[in-house]
Amino acid sequence: METVKPYERPLDVLAHQVVGMALEYGRVSVDEIVSVLSGSYIFRLLPINTLMELIKELESLRLIKVVNEGGKVFIEATKKGKIYYLTTTMIVESSQYDVIDALTKRKIGFLDEKFIVLSCEEGAVISLGGNLWRVIAIDDDNKKVMVEPIYEASEVLIPSWEGNLIPVDYKVAREVCALRRLIFSHGCSYLDALSRKYGIRFSNLEFCKRLLEALNEYDVPPCDNNLVIELIRQGDELLLVFNTCLGSKGNAALGYLLTYLLTKSMRLGGSFELKYDPYRVMIHGVGVYGGLGRKDVVELIDLLISCCSSRDYLINLLKEALRGSKLFNYRLYAVLRRVGIIGEDTPRNVVKALINEYSKTVFSAEAFNEIFTEDMDVDVVLDYVVKLSKGLIKVSIQEFKHVPKLTYSSFKRLGFTDKASLTILPPNVIAEVVKRRILSKRLMLICLVCGWSDVREVRYIDNEFRCPKCGSRYVGVTKVLDKSVVRLVRDILRKRKKLKELKDEEKRVIHELMESGNLFLTYGPIVTKVLAGLGIGPQTAKKILAKEFKSEFELWLRIFKHEKQFLKVSKYWD
């Protein structure tokens, strides 16, 4: 049923082939390249100026060398071009990041690299494993995302992200909406006829009965020849739902266009968030000046009709709407990976800078080419709006105080402004988890008076602890469990080594032991609980202990706060 739409003029593929031709022949003229391309179906309509623009970009990347000779333009191979051609593929592989709970240090799942690069940042809230997490730090080198459970709010927005799903074709979506019309018109008595026509099982007939109940909420049913627009208001928030059966690609194009018209042309202010599925477009608005009423919706439909006067005009508007969006950035990211501009290990901040830098080059044209081939169907939208303008599709604007049942299924599935009632994770629970983790840590204790040493779990270091050999409280604490540290301390105590003779790393170890020993003298064994925290050394432990705390509960929360701070800044260290 679906129409196969081949790629036309894929420029990232062409870039690879141009470099390959230069490598094969050593030198090749632009005329020869044009001659070869004219024999290819997908490049038969390639404009010469687009080819020259691509060659210019490849020259700036030093993948080829351009030579003007005798009134002709030649390209020559380069060493960098050879490396690009041999190491770059048109299949972009994506790595994954492990997601680690900073509280328990356990792995809770993983996220795709594209999601991390394009959508995720420190402070963002993600939904994973049925729970909500706030991102503390992203470690690109080790491919890890450190998160903490949310416990500061009772409601949060659930972020959503989808990979490349198989799109529902326009014809399939239209058939579904035609069935809605038939069920609404004939009621349950028509279900037997549907059962014979489509071979629907009895269990699905029950679903059809529930669908009929949902359709009865509307004055006219959302179907193939009715555009039902739902207007739902709650405070300063509103939800606009356009029941359009245009399939995945058609509704994607319509959704971006409608959102663009709301923000740019109508200048309503506020912010709008877009979601869509094969059967509807949903636009969530917050803080829209003066609200948005029926009159505004009618104006929006008129604007939509005027924007679809020609295919080229519509495409230009969609390009404006798409530029800077996550969809555009995702497609441009893939193109830049294929032409070797972005590598597998390119840092996220550099990736974002490169996407911004190349957003108006010939490579952005290829990103749009992919969008209009893979993600959007402009022709379906044009055909729909023409029918709308001729009155073949009737418009019905209906206001609701709640989300109708028919819409709610998508409303919930898409995670669109869906609010999760969060079972709040109280601070005392956080403190208990940190306490259990810290008490299970093993530390090396070394007496800096007699050289006694032992490795113990923190839980077994009581508040009256002293060196069992000499009774001193001048006890150094370290996370390094290597016996070489003990030998080093004993050599110094027995004057076999002098401090000035030590290597830099040995000096650092001894210095930290002495600092921790001084803290042990001042605060007692509680210092071992603090030093067992992730990334907490004597200097940080001193700051934690210097400020009075009323209970151990407060201490555990203070330790966790500094652990999170360490995770945020440690990625910037050498």
Residue 204's pLDDT band (cuts 50, 70, 90): low
Quote the radius of gyration of the chain (alpha carbons, Å): 32
What share of the chain in percent tops pLDDT 90?
A: 41
- Domain boundary at 57, 87, 117, which? 87
Same-domain check for residues 455 and 513: yes
Judge if 507 and 412 occupy the same domain: no
d(CA 109, CA 128): 7
pLDDT interval class at 400 (50, 70, 90): confident
pLDDT tens for residues 148-191? 887 544 334 344 444 456 788 999 999 888 888 887 887 766 66
- Over residues 101-114, the mean pLDDT reads 81
Q: Please determine, for residue 83, whether its predicted confidence score (pLDDT) is greater than 80.
A: yes
Same domain membership, residue 545 and residue 412: no
The sign of the CA dihedral 560, 562, 563, 569 is: positive
* pLDDT at 326 (0 to 100): 83
Confidence of residue 379 (pLDDT cuts 50, 70, 90): very high
Angle at 136 between CA 133 and CA 139, to 5 degrees: 115
What is the arithmetic mean of pLDDT over 363-377? 93
Strand bridging mode 131-139 / 72-77: unpaired
Query: Residue 138: its pLDDT value, please?
Result: 84
433 in the same domain as 415: no
Whether 15 and 60 map to the same domain: the answer is yes
Same domain, 409 and 439: no
88-92: which pairs have CB atoms within 8 A and are 24 or more residues apart?
Answer: 88/16, 88/338, 88/339, 88/340, 89/338, 90/12, 90/13, 90/16, 90/338, 92/334, 92/337, 92/338
Residues 382, 466 share a domain: no
Residue 531 belongs to some domain of the structure: yes
Tell me, what's the pLDDT at 423? 40
Label residue 291 by pLDDT band (50, 70, 90). Answer: low
For residue 88, what are the CA distances in angstroms to 92, 113, 343, 399, 534? Answer: 9, 18, 9, 53, 40
Residue 188 lies in a domain: yes
Answer yes or no: do 417 and 457 share one domain: no
Residue 233: helix, strand or coil by DSSP? strand
* Tokens at 217, concatenated: 């909420």
Whole-angstrom distance, CA of residue 113 vs CA of residue 97: 6
What's the CA gap between 141 and 345, in Å, rounded?
Answer: 8
The DSSP bridge pattern shows strands 96-101 and 144-149 to be parallel
For residue 288, what pLDDT is reported? 65
Task: Give a yes or no: residue 143 inside a domain.
Answer: no
**Are the CB atoms for 518 and 539 separated by under 8 Å?**
no
- Report the chain's terminal Cα–Cα distance, integer Å: 57
493 plus 398 within the same structural domain: no
Task: Say how far apart CA 174 and CA 133 lie, in whole Å.
Answer: 39
CATH number, position 66: 1.10.10.10
Could you count the other beta carbons within 10 Å of the beta carbon of residue 424? 13
Asked whether residue 450 falls in the same domain as residue 395, the answer is no
Quick: pLDDT tens for 23-75: 999 999 999 999 999 999 999 889 999 999 999 999 999 999 999 988 899 99
In a domain, residue 485? The reply is yes
Look at residue 411 in the predicted model and tell me its pLDDT: 64
Cβ atoms of 566 and 534 closer than 8 Å: yes
pTM of model > 0.75: no
Residue 541 pLDDT > 60, yes or no? Answer: yes
pLDDT of 428 > 80? The answer is no
Residue 260 structure tokens: 């663009």
Average pLDDT of the chain, as a whole number = 83
Lowest-confidence segment of 126-140, 474-488, 525-539 by average pLDDT: 126-140
Given 3-state DSSP classes, what are the helix, strand and coil percentages for the chain, each rounded to the nearest 5?
50, 20, 30
The model's confidence at residue 510, banded by pLDDT at 50, 70 and 90, is: confident
Residue 465 belongs to a domain: yes
pLDDT at site 480: 85
**151 within domain boundaries:** no
Task: Tell me: do 206 and 247 sit in the same domain.
Answer: yes
What's the pLDDT tens digit per position in 557-571? 899 888 888 877 766
Least confident segment among 76-80, 394-398, 522-526, 563-567: 563-567
- Rounded Cα distance between 255 and 279, Å, is 11
What is the reported pLDDT for 347?
80
Is residue 415 in a domain? Answer: yes
Q: Which domain holds residue 396?
A: 170-323+359-421
493 and 404 co-located in one domain: no
How many residues are given for the chain?
574
Placement of tokens 């605060």 in the chain: 523
360 contact partners, CB below 8 Å, separation of at least 6: none
How confident is the model over 298-310, as pLDDT tens digits? 999 999 999 888 8
Of 43-57, 228-242, 259-273, 316-330, the least confident: 259-273
| 3-class secondary-structure state, position 396 | strand
Q: Give the end of a domain, one of 66, 87, 108.
A: 87
Instruction: Sort residue 273 into left (φ over 0), alpha (ψ -120 to 50) or beta.
Output: beta
Q: Are 571 and 140 in contact (CB under 8 A)?
A: yes
Q: Where are the alpha helices (DSSP H) in 414-503?
A: 427-439, 483-493
Please list, in sequence order, all residues whose beta carbon lies within 8 angstroms of the beta carbon of residue 391, skipping any fewer than 6 positions away. Answer: none
Q: Is residue 457 part of a domain?
A: yes
- Total domain count for the chain? 3
Residue 363 three-state SS = helix
Q: Of 54, 87, 120, at which residue does a domain stop?
A: 87
What is the greatest pairwise CA distance in the chain?
100
